[in-house]
Amino acid sequence: MVILRDEIDREIEAGHSAAARAMLVQLWHQSAGPGIAGFVSSRFEKIRDALGLTKARVSILRSFTVEPIVPLLRAGGLVGGLDLEIQIGDFNTYTQEVLDPGSKLYRFEPHIVIVAVQTSEAAPDLWESFADLEQEAVEAAVERSIESYRQLVENVRSRSRAAFVIHSLQIPPMPASGILDAQEAGQSAAIGRINEGIRTIARQHKNVYVLDYNNLIARRGFANWNDPRKWLMARLPISANELNQMAREWLRFIHPLTGRVCKALAVDLDNTLWGGVIGEEGMEGIKLDENYPGAAYRQLQRVILDLYRRGIILAVCSKNNPAEAMEAIEKHPGMLLRAEHFAAYRINWNDKAQNLRELAKELNIGIDAIAFLDDNPVEREWIREQLPEVTIVELPDDPMGFADALRQAPVFERLELTEEDKVRGKMYVEQRMRSELQQTASSLEDFYRSLAMSVKIAPVTAQTLARTAQLTQKTNQFNMTTRRYSEEQVKEMLKSPQWRAYTLSAADRFGDNGIVGVALTRCENGVCEIDSFLLSCRVIGRTIETAFLAHIAEDARRVGARTLAGNFVATKKNAPARDFYEAHGFAKVAEGEGQSRWEYSLDKPGLSVPAWISVNAEER
Amino acid sequence: MGESIEAQVRQIAADIFGTSREKITAESSPETLEGWDSVQHLNLVLAVEQQLGIQFAPEEIEQMQSVGAIIEVAGHKLNQ
């Protein structure tokens, strides 16, 4: 270990930040703990400029000592690409702090507020002296506690947009009335009602999330988690060995809250999805069933399938003969994952770094949106050095631990699941089938026709508001102006008679993509200004954009506009949209610093929907 | 890890106080090391506990006021 530290310092000294980072990550995976947290963070500081870190300010309101967890949170964050600035509130002063607009909490302007309060402080009567209480006093204590959480959330919400992560309250491991507690609505049930109340508050407010503290403790074991001596001596209830688990649990929320997540998972095959090597052991030889050791691989496949249901795109990246590997995927009776779950394949003998680059390109996502799952530590190290942007899922040596390791990867955590998310994995598979069709079509037009595309264009409604805002925030590639809008901002626009807001949904013979396009226009004095025009990368290059623009032009004509105008604002990522106006007959009327302005006269006829797309338009 | 308890504790102390292992001796204490306050004392104790897989009693934590003392108490626990 000492040697590894010196090596890290030598690599930093030599300016090899990718190699230094790879070693730091490895060191952290091997021996994460309070001892090396400081070392890891200080070395990350030295190479931070090369890392592309995501910054966030986290404030912790607490009723116990969290100071020793902060270095672990910092280090674990840096390992995952997060630069966290962390503020700790004073002991049990959060109720005052949230009421004072000038308090250090608000001056800090946190993005995330963690409420780490224990039952002994949030509901002291219920925790300490439950046996003394009459039923009414229990009810009153439950109500009081829920009310204090509600006020906490609403007070902060009125002064800050920060997201909340609230620890639910711990159920006592040994209830006051012994085994009787389970027979009647006792102490555990009372605290459970407070937790139900906290969940209700989270449902009623946007951006409020519950951290299931009982689940965390159950996972780790209470006897293992608890250190009663440190609690009495230093108000620290968590044992030294478990402090990092608390930090990791916070990171499961911080990753999705900061957008530091992955869209796709690229998986190896041999000794990852099944035991053994298909090329050597064949269909009968590989291990994949309900018994040991095949069950370990089946469990991992179950986790991967769960991720697919959560909207994670799946791909295969394996060194194998494609025919043998595909036969196993399609026919092996033990497989839970099948060809229909994978959006792309790289089964060959090439370098896996090159394969991952190609997969990112084929899936039309950034390389930093890919996570890599491989049992072979040498492949993992290779990718870590070659493609530092890729998230590596660290796996233990024992396959029985694979499933848990993947479940704990914070880059696949999601805070909400839209209908779009649930079918995303499927949509990318359909996309692969489209590409396969395109390769066999004789001409592009032929391909478009064979797709049997239909689009639905509709005014934004209360039901589609969230998706509309989400698309303005997330679409990078085919986006003319890349203006980001919140739901509230779009709602404001809808109130004005000049603004029009459209959504576009697309479907074809392979499936329904749902809402994939948004346009926002403002018509005034005969000019219809295209404020925003964007399409998800899933559907670009299929002339759907032409159909969308034609509809907007027609709508503008109807309200008396004579000119359709719009800007193109160049960003690092929106090259696919650059030629859009020009290709559709717009004239460039101005150009300057990364921006150009385009106009189209609506007096002449033109801009029609391609013959191969059927449009179903709803009036506003 | 194969390293002696002494080497491990000195390394932990060096990491906690942001200095090199050579600068940490058995005599290093709150008097000689900058930043060794009550918060860092707790951090040091927790790091030793986690890495060596032991738990100190509150009395021991109060009494271990030098790196040498921590090495000694930790040694007793591991050799019991």
Structure-token pair, residue A364: 């039309």
- A133, A176 contact by CB (below 8 A): no
Interface of B with A (CB under 8 A): 1, 3, 7, 11-12, 15-16, 18, 21, 39, 42-43, 45-51, 53, 55, 57-58, 61
| Of the candidates A108, A117, A115, the residue with the CA atom closest to the CA atom of residue A56 | A108
- Closest approach of chain B CAs to the CA of A398, in angstroms? 20
Dump pLDDT digits (tens) for B40-77.
999 999 999 999 999 999 999 999 999 999 999 999 99
Q: Do B42 and A67 touch (CB under 8 A)?
A: yes
- A371, A264 contact by CB (below 8 A): yes
Counted residue by residue, chain A has a size of 620
Round to whole Å and give the CA distance between A213 and A169. 7
Interface of A with B (CB under 8 A): 1-2, 31, 33-39, 42, 65, 67-68, 71, 227, 229, 232-234, 236, 239-241, 243
- What pLDDT shows up at residue B1? 46
Distance of CA A608 to the CA centre of its chain: 38
- Closest approach of chain A CAs to the CA of B65, in angstroms? 16
Residue A444's H or E segment, with its range, is helix A444-451
Dump the DSSP string for A217-246.
Answer: HHHH-HHHHB-HHHHHHHS--B-GGGHHHH
Residues of chain B positioned with their CB less than 8 A from the CB of A31: 51
* Residue A465 amino acid letter: L
- Closest approach of chain B CAs to the CA of A220, in angstroms? 15
Backbone torsion region of residue A214, taken as left when φ is above 0, otherwise alpha when ψ lies between -120 and 50, otherwise beta: alpha
Residues of chain B positioned with their CB less than 8 A from the CB of A35: 11-12, 15-16, 47-48, 50-51
| Of the candidates A315, A334, A577, A301, the residue with the CA atom closest to the CA atom of residue A432 | A315
- What pLDDT shows up at residue A326? 96
From the list B1, B15, B46, the residue facing A39 with the nearest CB is: B15
Residues of chain B positioned with their CB less than 8 A from the CB of A75: none
The ranges of chain A with pLDDT < 70 are 1-3, 620
- How would you label A516-533 residue by residue, b for 16+ Cβ within 10 Å and e otherwise? bbbbbbebeeeebbbbbb
Structure-token pair, residue A193: 């009602």
From the list B3, B11, B50, the residue facing A33 with the nearest CB is: B50
- Closest approach of chain B CAs to the CA of A64, in angstroms? 14
pTM: 0.82
From the list B3, B50, B57, the residue facing A35 with the nearest CB is: B50
| Of the candidates A575, A581, A617, the residue with the CA atom closest to the CA atom of residue A596 | A581
Round to whole Å and give the CA distance between A282 and A474. 44
Residue B80 has pLDDT above 80, yes or no: no
- Closest approach of chain A CAs to the CA of B5, in angstroms? 14
| Of the candidates A518, A474, A481, A475, the residue with the CA atom closest to the CA atom of residue A594 | A481
Round to whole Å and give the CA distance between A428 and A315. 10
Round to whole Å and give the CA distance between A271 and A375. 6
Helix (H, G, I), strand (E, B) or coil at A462: coil
Q: Do B3 and A34 touch (CB under 8 A)?
A: no
Q: Do A236 and B42 touch (CB under 8 A)?
A: yes
- A352, A383 contact by CB (below 8 A): yes
ipTM of the complex: 0.94
Q: Which of B15, B19, B45 to mutate to test the interface with A (most CBs of A within 10 A)?
A: B15
Q: Which of A3, A36, A70, A90 to mutate to test the interface with B (most CBs of B within 10 A)?
A: A36
| Of the candidates A267, A325, A278, A326, the residue with the CA atom closest to the CA atom of residue A301 | A267
- What pLDDT shows up at residue A3? 58
